[in-house]
Amino acid sequence: MKPVDRHRLILDLVRTHDTSVEELSSALNVSEATVRRDLTLLGKQRLLVRTHGGATALIGVHEPEASLEERKASRGDEKAAIARAAIAHIQDGDTVFLDGGTTCSALAALLYSHGNIQVVTNNLLAVMTLATAPGVRLTLIGGDLRESSMSTLGPLAELAISRLSVDRAFLGADGVVAEFGLCEASAQQAYLKECIIKRAAQVFVLADSEKLGRARQQHWTPLEREWRLITSAVDEVELQPFQDLAMATVETVEL
């Protein structure tokens, strides 16, 4: 593993919870001496705080969001595979919610020819895909436009969601952490997802392998009910925290 990749993984782990040298060594399959050198370097770069025997996150650390074009170009095969797995959970006559994001947009593309479903969404990319879909009844949630994801949010979106219910909600996120929930760049994004979760009979989180354990933003949507994670990740170290959750079901996809 390249040092840059190892450092990224260390930061992802440290941002989810305080970690020890022993834990990092085991998770990364490297020596404790290597971990100590990495922690010292990352500490000097002010990316984490060295503690006795390990490290903890710097309060307020976050990364700039990727642009919409960067997201569209990233991990397309994984997102398509996740979408194929997700559509298997949709039944004839269902009302489904599609969240913002490119993975939910990939699911919208598969729903075009599904027929006899109601799609409720704040995802303008999904709307453009499904606007002429035969047999798909489409409801757009209004609100403030978030250009970086081409989705709506804010008080009007929250009010609209409070007046409806759906059979299945499919959610994306900037990151998914077993201990905390869904990680987002803004409080409005995080709260809108919380509103959706309350109005759905079933909740699905669609997350490619890069999203698991990723805590690079500062706002969180807790997952305090039964939910299903559909992911392209196959690393047992990444999957185990989710498999240990009593309320989560983990479904992995084949690429």
59 has pLDDT over 60: no
Looking at CATH, the fold of the domain delimited by 68-252 is given as: Rossmann fold (3.40.50)
pLDDT of residue 89: 98
CATH class of the region 3-57: mainly alpha
Confidence of residue 63 (pLDDT cuts 50, 70, 90): low
pLDDT of residue 14: 85
- Whether the Cβ atoms of residue 182 and residue 220 lie closer than 8 Å to each other: yes
Residue bearing the bigger pLDDT, 1 or 166: 166
Cβ neighbours of 243 (radius 10 Å) = 12
102 has pLDDT over 70: yes
pLDDT of residue 21: 93
- Per the rule left: phi > 0, alpha: psi between -120 and 50, beta: everything else, 245 is beta
pLDDT tens for each residue of 109-168: 999 999 899 999 999 999 999 999 999 999 999 999 999 899 999 999 999 999 999 999
CATH 3.40.50.1360 maps onto the chain at 68-252
pTM for this prediction: 0.80
Q: Across the strands, what pairs with 175?
A: 183
225 has pLDDT over 60: yes
Average per-residue pLDDT in the chain?
A: 91
